[in-house]
Structure formats: structure tokens, C-alpha cells
């Protein structure tokens, strides 16, 4: 006969019990193992999709978004075109094996609804002409060849980003100048050097932060290798 009432709770499997840590040491070991597994997965993912290099030497990585069912347009950006993009300038994450993949911390952005004046994605964008000397070299170099709708990560070294083109300032990653003291708190690019920020930070280069807080964040990082994640919205 059927008896009404609540069903007994399911029995816990031995494997689920084993996953629970019983003390601080076990918890720390499990956390370290999980971190190692994640790091290995990130490394394998990066190896499966290695960065490409433009003819001018800028590294970039085309991003295939998970779960995406839409393909990029046949409309492709070329030198001299006026283009519209959404972008995020990112500080390199700890697991960025190739300088482009992995996690990153947003320094400033446009079009991703991450700033105070943006309510939804696409509220604002950045329009520029490919080849404009006022635009950072990394964008002029790596956006040509992108199709509308495509997403690309571009390596922005100080020399093709927001650093003034003088020998005195050219001491960051990939630079040839003397620079200043070693940045001991920077892990991914240990050769990054400290320069006089106000003297070497080129505030005329575009895109440029719109708020004081964003500008100060950039002033602390422009002499490091950064990532620019760019989605091509339109070719005008």
C-alpha cells in the first residue's frame, strides 16, 4: 500500500562526501588542486587557439564566443575605412599564458554598459578612421581584416598604445629605453618599468578615458602590456 508523506532525503554518495574538506589543510589542498586544473584547462585552450601576428608585429586573438549561433558579417574593415567599435581595455590576468587569453581586469571601456553613462550595451561606441595617427597604433594595425560582428583581443604594448614615442619613455615591455625602477608588483610582465607617468602618458591618443578615475587607472598602467578586446560594430 502507498503511504503518503515526505520522501526520505537521498543518500549522499561516497564521492560527494570525499569532496568535502574536513579541516583547513584539506580545504587549502582542494583549492590548490582546483586552481591547477583550471590553469591547465586555460593553457590547453590557449594552445588550441594560438595568437596571430599582423604584418606590423601586433599580436591578436580572434575570440569564438561559447554558445554563439550567429556568424560574422561579410563586411570587412580595411585600411582607410571609418569603423565603429565597442571595446574594453584590460589589465592582464594571472593566467594569461599568451598575453591575450584568460581573465582580465577592465581599466576603461566603451559600449559594454560598464561605465556610469551607459545603461545598456551599445549606448555608446567609438568611431574612428583606420590609419588616423591620433588613434593608438594597436587599433590601426589589428582591426583591418575584422568582419562586422567579430570579437578580437589585441595586445597593446606601451609602444603601440598610450606611451609617448621618445627614447626616455621607451622602457616598458618591448621597449629599448632605460626606463626607471623595476615594478616588483607586476607578475605577468616582470620587465615592466616605472616611468614618470605624467611625462610619458600621451593623453592625445585615442581612445582615451572619459572620467578622472579611469584616467588615473590608465596613468598607472599605460607602461604595461594591456589587452584591448574589440567588437567591430559597423563599417561606415
* 38-50 mean pLDDT: 68
* Predicted confidence band of residue 85 (pLDDT cuts 50, 70, 90): very high
* Predicted confidence band of residue 15 (pLDDT cuts 50, 70, 90): very low
* 179-194 mean pLDDT: 41
- Say if pTM beats, i.e. exceeds, 0.75: no
* Predicted confidence band of residue 192 (pLDDT cuts 50, 70, 90): very low
Could you say which DSSP state residue 224 is in? Answer: S
Residues with Cβ < 8 Å from 95, sequence gap 6 or more?
Answer: 38, 39, 42, 43, 102, 103
Could you report the per-residue pLDDT of 213-224, keeping only the tens digit for each?
Answer: 999 999 999 988
Q: State residue 58's pLDDT score.
A: 94
CB atoms within 10 A of CB 177: 17
What whole-number distance in Å separates Cα of residue 126 and Cα of residue 180?
Answer: 33
* Predicted confidence band of residue 99 (pLDDT cuts 50, 70, 90): confident
* 27-51 mean pLDDT: 74
Nearest to 130 by CA among 87, 85, 79: 79
Burial 210-230 (b: 16+ CB within 10 A, else e): eeeebeebbbebbbbbbbbbb
What whole-number distance in Å separates Cα of residue 51 and Cα of residue 55?
Answer: 13
In a 3-state reduction of DSSP, which class is residue 126?
Answer: strand
Task: Judge whether 148 and 81 are in contact, CB under 8 Å.
Answer: no
Residue 69 pLDDT greater than 60, yes or no: no
Cα angle for residues 122, 123, 129 (degrees, 5° grid): 70
For residue 9, with 0-12 CB atoms within 10 Å meaning exposed, 13-18 middle and 19 or more buried, which class applies?
A: exposed
* Predicted confidence band of residue 179 (pLDDT cuts 50, 70, 90): very low
Q: What are phi and psi of 15, to 5 degrees?
A: -65, -40
Amino acid at each position: 500500500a502507498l503511504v503518503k508523506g515526505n520522501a526520505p532525503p537521498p543518500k549522499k554518495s561516497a564521492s560527494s562526501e570525499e569532496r568535502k574538506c574536513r579541516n583547513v589543510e584539506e580545504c587549502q589542498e582542494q583549492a590548490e588542486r582546483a586552481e591547477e586544473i583550471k590553469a591547465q584547462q586555460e593553457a590547453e585552450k590557449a594552445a588550441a587557439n594560438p595568437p596571430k601576428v599582423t604584418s606590423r608585429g601586433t599580436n591578436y586573438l580572434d575570440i569564438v564566443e561559447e554558445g554563439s549561433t550567429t556568424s560574422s558579417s561579410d563586411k570587412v574593415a580595411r585600411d582607410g575605412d571609418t569603423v565603429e567599435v565597442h571595446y574594453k581595455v584590460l589589465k592582464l590576468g594571472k593566467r594569461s599564458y599568451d598575453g591575450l587569453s584568460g581573465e582580465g581586469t577592465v581599466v576603461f571601456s566603451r559600449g559594454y554598459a560598464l561605465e556610469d553613462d551607459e545603461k545598456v550595451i551599445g549606448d555608446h561606441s567609438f568611431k574612428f578612421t583606420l590609419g588616423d595617427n591620433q588613434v593608438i597604433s594597436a587599433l590601426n594595425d589589428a582591426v583591418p581584416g575584422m568582419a562586422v560582428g567579430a570579437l578580437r583581443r589585441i595586445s597593446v604594448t606601451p609602444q603601440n598604445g598610450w606611451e609617448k614615442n621618445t627614447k626616455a619613455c621607451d622602457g616598458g615591455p618591448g621597449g629599448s629605453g632605460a626606463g626607471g625602477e623595476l615594478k616588483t608588483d607586476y607578475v605577468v610582465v616582470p620587465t615592466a618599468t616605472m616611468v614618470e607617468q605624467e611625462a610619458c602618458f600621451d593623453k592625445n591618443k585615442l581612445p582615451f578615458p572619459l572620467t578622472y578615475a579611469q584616467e588615473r587607472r590608465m596613468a598607472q598602467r599605460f607602461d604595461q602590456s594591456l589587452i584591448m578586446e574589440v567588437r567591430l560594430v559597423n563599417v561606415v
